[in-house]
Homo-oligomer: A and B are copies of this chain.
Amino acid sequence: MNKTIEKLLSHHSVRKFTEKKLTTEQIHTLVKSAQAASTSSYIQAYTILGIKDIEKKKRLSELAGNQPYVINNGHFFVFCADLYRHEIIGENEDGDVIDSLESTEKFMVAVIDAALAAQNTVVAAESMGLGICYIGGIRNNLEAVSDLLELPDRVIPLFGLAVGYPEEETGVKPRLPLHHIYQEDRYNSDPGRIMSDLEEYNKTVSSYYEARTNGKRNDRWTSQMAAMLSNKKRMYMKDYVEKKKFNKK
């Protein structure tokens, strides 16, 4: 196993960073790494915003659920799906692009493009000894985030990414069994097989929490998931993305 893979396998989110800021050179290396990721038909359907303004960071932290690590980090990125430049290209090149831009297909393309770029940023950051935490919490209120960052239509923020020098490390969280997440040639949808795999995984997850909390927690993964999904969060999303002219057709 090589060093890159060792690093991938030791990934864990970092939620407490030192005050040390990333240099412009480091930020540019991270963005170049992001850009080197594959992109569907060369479309490059994303924009990366870096947030330095402290007032904007404070507001983003409030909007995302008051996580202090949205403010206190080495740098904060917001990854956006972006088809705005492609609309302008359509106008300038006499292209009939609007139906494509507003399709669910291109919504998926833009989300995938942005996510591939983000994960390259993460790999690059961790290879430099930095830690990261994805911030899905900005999706609590995307209208306000969009206003704060002055985003036009056809640009939507997908998630934040806090990057910085780790002050506190966390443990590597156990993942679903490999034979459960990975299957060959066909999908085995038998519910009995699935629950049996998940009961095995529940034991792993419970042991992980017990060890990490000195016995105070022993959550099962399936009950965590049932509770999380029973909480109907961000149900405004369908209307929001359509209003921003994604996912309409």
Residues of A within 8 A of B (CB): 1-5, 7-11, 13, 27-29, 31-38, 40-44, 46-53, 56, 80, 84-86, 88-97, 99-101, 103-106, 108-109, 111-112, 115-116, 118-120, 122-124, 127-128, 132, 134, 136, 139, 149-152, 155, 158-159, 172-173, 175-176, 178, 181-189, 191, 194-195, 198, 221-235, 237-238, 241, 247-249
Pick the contact of A226: B90, B150, B233 (CB < 8 A): B90
Closest to A109 in B: B136
- Across the interface, which residues of B come within 8 angstroms of A91, CB to CB? 191
Closest to A231 in B: B100
Whether the pair A105, B139 counts as a contact (CB closer than 8 A) is yes
Closest to A57 in B: B185
- Across the interface, which residues of B come within 8 angstroms of A182, CB to CB? 27-28, 31, 47-50
Closest to A148 in B: B186
Closest beta carbon of chain B to A203's beta carbon, Å: 16
Stoichiometry, copies per complex: 2
What are the 7 closest A-B residue pairs judged by CB atoms, nearest first? A95-B226, A115-B115, A93-B226, A4-B127, A119-B119, A97-B229, A105-B234
Known: A111-B111, A221-B42, A225-B43. A194 touches B249 (CB 8 A): no
In the bound complex, CA of A35 to CA of B177 (Å): 10
Closest to A7 in B: B4
Closest to A44 in B: B176
Closest beta carbon of chain B to A36's beta carbon, Å: 5
Closest beta carbon of chain B to A167's beta carbon, Å: 19
Interface centre among A8, A80, A224, A238 (most CB of B within 10 A): A8
- Across the interface, which residues of B come within 8 angstroms of A139, CB to CB? 105, 108
Closest beta carbon of chain B to A147's beta carbon, Å: 11
Whether the pair A11, B38 counts as a contact (CB closer than 8 A) is yes
Whether the pair B116, A237 counts as a contact (CB closer than 8 A) is no
Known: A9-B32, A42-B224, A50-B182. A103 touches B235 (CB 8 A): yes
Whether the pair B159, A112 counts as a contact (CB closer than 8 A) is yes
